[in-house]
Amino acid sequence: MSVIKKCLFPAAGYGTRFLPATKAMPKEMLPIVTKPLIQYGVEEAMDAGITEIGIVTGRGKRAIEDYFDISYELEQEIAGSDKEELLNSTREIMDRCTFSYTRQVEMKGLGHAILVGETLIGREPFAVVLADDYCVTEGDGVLTQMVKLYEKYQCSIVAIEEGPMDETHKYSVIAGDLEADGVYRVHNMVEKPAPENAPSNLAIIGRYILSPDIFDVIRSTPPGKNGEMQITDALQIQAQQGNVIGYRFQGRRFDCGSVDGFIDATNYTYNAQSA
Ligand code: G1P
C-alpha cells in the first residue's frame, strides 16, 4: 500500500489553446489515440498505488464525471460483442479507484485550485497531476518514482526536467543543490521567469507530491504572477525551510496543453501501440 493514497487533478481550466474543440468539451477529455488525457494521469496514479482520486472541476466539465462512471445503455448495447473489451481499462479504474469532485467557481490560479481541493484531501500528503503533462516511461511511472522518493524524504517533491532557456516563461523554474543522482534540495523557485531572471534551466512539470501543510501556506501567501495564487510561491516558502525536493524524473513528457505537444504525443502513442 502506498504512503500516498490520494491524487488531486486540477481540471477547471478553460483550455483556450484548443478552441473551438474545448468550447463544449473539457480539454482533459481530448483523446491521445483512444483514451482521454485525464485517463493516462489516473492510470499513472493507480500504478503508484494511489486509488483515491480527487478532481477539481468547473463549469462545462461534467463529461469527466460521466466518463469515470458506468454507461448502462452503451454497455448493454455492446455486451457480448468484440467491442466489449474496449471498456476494460475504464472498468478496471472504476473497480480500483474512488472519485470525488469539487468545483472551483473562480479561476484564481493553480495554488487556488489546489486549495479548493483541500476538502477532498484533508490532512495527509498527496499527489497532484496536471493532466495536460502526459508522461511516458519505460519502467516505473513518474508518480511511482516520486512516491518512492517521498518515502525517503518525507517532504514536498516537484518533478523537473531540463528545458531550453527560451521557454522559461512557460514554467516554474528552480534552483537547488544536487543531493543525489537527479535529486535537488530546492532553495529557490520562480514562476514563469524571463530567461534573464531564471535561476536555472530546470523547469517544473505537472507532477507534485505535497505535504499537507501546503494548504495553510497557500492560504497565507499573497497573490503572485498575474495576480493569481501560485503554487510556486507556496512551495518557495517550504523550499526556504529546506522542505522541497526537485526530482529529475526518468521518462519523457509531452506538453499536451499545446497543439504541437499534443500532436507529438498522439504520434508517439500511436506508433508505440502499433509497433
Ligand atoms: C503550471 C504552473 C507552472 C508549472 C506548469 C507545469 O503552469 O503554474 O509552475 O511549471 O504548470 O506544466 P501552466 O502550464 O498551467 O501555465
Q: What is the DSSP letter of 45?
A: H
Give this prediction's pTM. 0.96
| Nearest residue by C-alpha to atom 4 in ligand 1 | 171
Q: How far apart are CA 205 and CA 54, in angstroms?
A: 19
Apex 161 CA angle, 159 and 162, nearest 5: 155
Minimum-distance ligand 1 atom for the alpha carbon of 232 = 9
Domain assignments of the chain as residue spans, ordered by start: 6-274
Per-residue pLDDT at 155 exceeds 80: yes
Q: How far apart are CA 49 and CA 28, in angstroms?
A: 22
More confident residue, 175 or 165: 175
C-alpha of residue 230 to centroid of ligand 1, in Å: 9
Q: CB 44: neighbour CB atoms within 10 A?
A: 24
C-alpha of residue 85 to centroid of ligand 1, in Å: 36
Please give the single-letter amino acid code of residue 55: I
Report the chain's mean pLDDT, rounded to a whole number: 95
Question: H or E segment at 217?
Answer: helix 214-219
Place of cell 463529461: 63
**Is it true that domain 6-274 has CATH number 3.90.550.10?**
yes
The tens digit of pLDDT for each residue in 20-79 reads: 999 999 999 999 999 999 999 999 999 999 999 999 999 999 999 999 999 999 989 998
Minimum-distance ligand 1 atom for the alpha carbon of 110 = 8
> Assign residue 164 a region: left if phi > 0, alpha if psi is -120 to 50, beta otherwise?
beta
pLDDT at 1: 63
| Nearest residue by C-alpha to atom 7 in ligand 1 | 171
